[in-house]
């Protein structure tokens, strides 16, 4: 019997040792290969909803934006339209200054009366420098004054590494941006002005009996692409800010300083394909959705509903959704009065012990202070709990 028990123990020991030496199971989901390496000077790939950066190379290097500048020009004009300060039907008389502006043109002529909408389409679709200057003069009197508006909105959007001196992108030593800032601007433009953003997907525009094609060749190459803007000068190289949406997932790609018109298209396509192929974006929580209940002391109610202020999206490697973990931390004690929207904690979304997203946990309703007896009773309960609670 002793020999039999000894044999059983030996077999179990060998089995445990074998399990200990067995390699861990492979992670769920498809493997994520290294990001493509491009020949452009700087580039970045960002998910629109989660704003997670999927690929980047020198994204904060200062670069000349060339005609990608017109994204900021259009942002300013779109904002003025939404605020009601101007209208699409407003007539604009073309100045000689706008007419004489060099570079790409929509072919307006001095003294010609055109509408704000026509100028916007000439700038967005045809990349007209003349249209950009005409819009700038209409809004601010001069292009220099309009550049002040551009920098104001850039600051509001957090584009801390950008500075604009004109509405066109023509070269100037004090006119610069970064790939990251262009991505920030692109996301804001799509999010804030969806009705106007559709113009960026139009492939051609005719004005003054001249038909011109959109310079963004990705619009013909990939049906998921619906914007945004090209740029090119000798100093800036070939640039392209693009956005595409597939199966509800939108990505924004920015390529700055590519070597040719063809390469900026192929490099942008490589980034977009990589992001769509190996990542997925999911919405975890809605704004105002109940996520937890918090115990309230000295209040008219004993519980308060907790949630987040904004929608929460995460971008993760494909197939890893079930590996996500949500952790909630809260104040040690919630004591009334509590205001609606008061920050009382935090929710952290983690993947393999790395935080990939987080939001403040807020109260979804107010809790008024209880009366004298309610406050007194809860005060005693808190004192007793503290006296006999765990160390």
Catalytic residue among 50, 70, 95, 258: 70
Alpha-carbon distance of 14 to 194, in angstroms, equals 65
Q: Which residues touch 175 (CB under 8 Å, ≥6 apart)?
A: 64, 65, 69, 163, 164, 165, 166, 169
What Rg value do the Cα atoms of the chain yield, rounded? 29
Of the candidates 54, 92, 63, which has an alpha carbon nearest to the alpha carbon of residue 233? 63
Which residues on neighbouring strands pair with residue 245, listed in sequence order? 250
Catalytic residue among 42, 74, 104, 127: 127
The rounded distance, in Å, linking the Cα atoms of 371 and 50 is: 44
Please state whether 84 falls in left (phi above 0), alpha (psi between -120 and 50) or beta.
left
Candidates 302, 299, 292; CA nearest to 363 is: 292
Among this protein's residues, is 104 annotated catalytic? no
Q: Which of 67, 258, 268, 270 is catalytic?
A: 67
> Residue 309: how many CB atoms within 10 A of its CB?
14
Cα separation of 183 and 65, whole Å?
12
* Residue 172 buriedness (CB in 10 A; 0-12 / 13-18 / 19+): middle
Write down the residue that tokens 């996301």 correspond to.
Answer: 187
Q: Alpha-carbon distance 44 to 55, whole Å? A: 5
Can you read off the two tokens belonging to residue 178? Answer: 């970064």
Region of 142 on the Ramachandran plot (φ > 0 left; ψ -120 to 50 alpha; else beta): beta
Per the annotation, the verdict on 67 as an active-site residue is yes
Place of tokens 């009382």: 344
Distance CA 361, CA 339 (A): 13
Query: Is 162 in the active site?
Result: no
Helix (H, G, I), strand (E, B) or coil at 155: helix
d(CA 359, CA 213): 43
Tell me the catalytic residues: 67, 70, 127
């Amino acid at each position: 019997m002793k020999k039999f028990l000894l044999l059983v123990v030996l077999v179990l020991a060998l089995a445990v040792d074998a399990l200990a030496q067995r390699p861990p199971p492979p992670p769920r989901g498809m493997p994520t290969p290294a990001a493509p390496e491009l020949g452009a000077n700087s580039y970045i790939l960002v998910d629109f909803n989660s704003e997670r950066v999927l690929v980047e190379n020198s994204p904060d290097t200062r670069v000349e934006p060339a005609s990608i500048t017109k994204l900021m020009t259009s942002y300013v004009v779109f904002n003025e339209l939404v605020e009601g300060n101007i209208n699409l039907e407003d007539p604009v008389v073309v100045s000689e200054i706008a007419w004489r502006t060099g570079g790409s043109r929509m072919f307006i002529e001095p003294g010609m009366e055109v509408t704000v909408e026509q100028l916007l389409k000439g700038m967005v679709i045809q990349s007209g420098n003349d249209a950009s200057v005409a819009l700038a003069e209409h809004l601010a009197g001069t292009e220099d004054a309009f550049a002040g508006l551009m920098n104001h909105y850039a600051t509001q959007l957090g584009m801390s590494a950008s500075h604009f001196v004109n509405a066109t992108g023509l070269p100037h030593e004090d006119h610069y941006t970064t790939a990251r800032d262009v991505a920030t601007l692109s996301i804001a433009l799509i999010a804030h002005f969806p009705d106007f953003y559709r113009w960026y997907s139009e492939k051609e525009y005719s004005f003054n009996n001249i038909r011109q094609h959109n310079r963004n060749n990705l619009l013909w190459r990939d049906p998921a692409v619906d914007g945004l803007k090209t740029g090119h000068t000798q100093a800036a190289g070939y640039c392209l800010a693009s956005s595409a949406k597939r199966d509800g997932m939108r990505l924004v790609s920015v390529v700055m300083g590519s070597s040719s018109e063809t390469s900026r298209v192929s490099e942008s396509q490589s980034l977009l394909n990589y992001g769509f192929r190996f990542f997925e974006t999911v919405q975890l929580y809605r704004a105002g959705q109940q996520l937890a209940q918090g115990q309230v002391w000295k209040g008219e109610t004993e519980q308060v509903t907790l949630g987040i202020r904004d929608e929460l999206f995460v971008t993760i490697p494909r197939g890893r959704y079930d590996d996500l973990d949500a952790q909630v931390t809260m104040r040690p004690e919630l004591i009334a009065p509590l205001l609606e929207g008061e920050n009382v904690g935090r929710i952290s979304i983690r993947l393999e012990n790395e935080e990939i997203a987080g939001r403040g946990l807020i109260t979804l309703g107010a809790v008024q202070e209880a009366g004298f007896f309610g406050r007194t009773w809860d005060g005693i309960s808190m004192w007793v709990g503290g006296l006999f609670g765990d160390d």
